[in-house]
Amino acid sequence: MQKTSKGLSAWQLALMSLGSVIGGSFFLGLSVAMNAAGPSIIISFILSGILVYFILYALSEMTVANPEKGSFSTFAAKELGQGMGFIVGWIYWTGIVLSMSSEATAISILLREWFPNVSIPIMGSLIIVGVTLLNLLGVEKLGKIESFLSSVKIFMIIFFILTAFVLIFGVLPRANPIGLGELANEPFMAGGISGIAGSMLLVIFAYAGFEVIGLAASEAENPRETIPKAIRYTVFSLVGLYVVYAAVILPLIPTSALNENVSPIVASLDRWGITWAGSVLNLVLISAILSAMMAAIFGLGRMIRSLTDEGYAPRWLKDTKDVPYRGILFSGMAMLVGLSFGLLFPRVYLVLISTGGFSLIFTYGIIMATHIRFRQRNGCPPDGICQMRGYPYTSWITLISMIVVLGCMPLIPGQGVGLFAGLAMVAMFSLIYLGLSFQLRARARGQAIAKIPPSFSTEFAAEPLEENNTEEKRED
């Protein structure tokens, strides 16, 4: 793939990452996490932010060393074996498709307030088609659109924080300050250690999406400088914003009053008579989810290109142009399938969400395992760019933390099924890889079994697998 002459800047990458991160899960899903952990949700935000910091810098080290190499699935294939590259690539792609299909349903429900006569299936389909086509415009135009939508979300959060400060400190004339408010009446660890542990999944899920920086590395201007800078912008903006956001909500409303049916922002402001917040937030939510979907499809298109380059996807998806049109269109069509599946079987909606969460946490764990192996084999990356502070301890702590977070999924109601569905997905892709690997090796030796009928698997290219196997043998 030829690198674009004018790539994404550090701020555009950071805003695209923020666009992918601050979606429906932030405005709605955090109610469940706050209810589970109580005021100690701040600890969950800080701990999760530290983990995000280490994951991003681990990804940055590998990306800066090979900015044109591909995505984290490519790094996993090189360091942990071809099977792991195949599995993590497809699990990540599948998880994001499921998550964004559910986001399309959410935005359709919000839009029905203004378009009551349009059915949710039609509305959701139009949204998916629209954000897919926008991704075909190219990275420069998409970066500008994404920057605008991300700015709307960030402005809304900052506006809420300022409004909360006014209520808490009584800044306006004749206004009585709330002070500690509800925070003075709640135990700090209302849900105990299990509450913090259980909320970590949802909080990390609220951070999820930052990995788009790694997927966009090849389209950044001067990746060796841009990627680390974009990561700094993303991490410090997110952690600071999230911690302050949680801190100003806690005095306004008891965490026991929060649930998945209402945003913490709307619930807290409604409680203090600011009832117009719901209507305004609807508009912000729509822009937030659109932004998240656009950034997600951007990443999915690049993931498909990475998978086809490695020979892990059908050859008809291969695209050598700057914009991976085939990967984007294929991902958009998959979202339409996910949307229809969720609408036909409403009870699987939570399964789709939680399975998407599993796929992301699983991916982050594999990124850390890949980084550990990468540093063991290479030491510091080329040019001495060592960004991971405290290696190897921080890498191992982060990897173990991801495993613990996955193990804590059953502590949150409705998330246990996501764990089992996610493990089933890992087993499924493992079996698919074993079947493909056997068939490709047989074809490469000229010993293909004639009884095997043509299928999806026969469209995979054998050459990259054989080439990579040869490389592995040389390295061993």
Q: Which long-range contacts (CB under 8 A, 24 or more apart) does 66-71 make?
A: 67/217, 67/218, 67/220, 67/223, 67/224, 67/227, 68/1, 68/3, 68/218, 70/218, 70/306, 70/309, 70/310, 71/214, 71/215, 71/302, 71/303, 71/306
pLDDT digits (tens, 9 = 90+) for 192-221: 777 787 777 778 877 877 777 766 666 667
Q: Which residue has the higher pLDDT, 175 or 222?
A: 222
> Is the bond preceding 392 in cis, omega lying within 30 degrees of 0?
yes
pLDDT digits (tens, 9 = 90+) for 444-462: 566 444 444 444 444 444 4
> What secondary structure does DSSP assign to 66-122, as a single string?
STTT--HHHHHHHHH-HHHHHHHHHHHHHHHHHHHHHHHHHHHHHHTTT-TTS-HHH
Q: Is 237 helix (H, G, I), strand (E, B) or coil?
A: helix
Which residues are within 8 A (CB) of 221 and not within 5 positions of it... i.e. 6 or more apart?
A: 6, 7, 8, 9
User: How many beta carbons lie within 10 A of that of residue 447, not counting itself?
Assistant: 8
Class of domain 10-475: mainly alpha
Q: Tokens for 54?
A: 């280490």
> What is the pLDDT, as a whole number, of residue 398?
93
Instruction: Work out the end-to-end distance of the chain between its first and last CA atoms, rounded to an integer number of angstroms.
Output: 29
pLDDT digits (tens, 9 = 90+) for 284-337: 778 878 887 887 888 888 888 888 887 788 888 888 777 888 889 999 999 988
Backbone angles phi, psi at 172, to 5 degrees: -75, 150
Q: Where are the domains of the chain?
A: 10-475
Torsional class of 442: left (φ above 0), alpha (ψ -120 to 50), beta (otherwise): alpha
Q: Tokens for 299?
A: 């990443």
pLDDT at residue 369 is higher than 90: yes
What are the E-state strand segments in 218-358?
none
Asked if residue 394 lies in contact with residue 54, where contact means CB atoms within 8 angstroms, the answer is yes
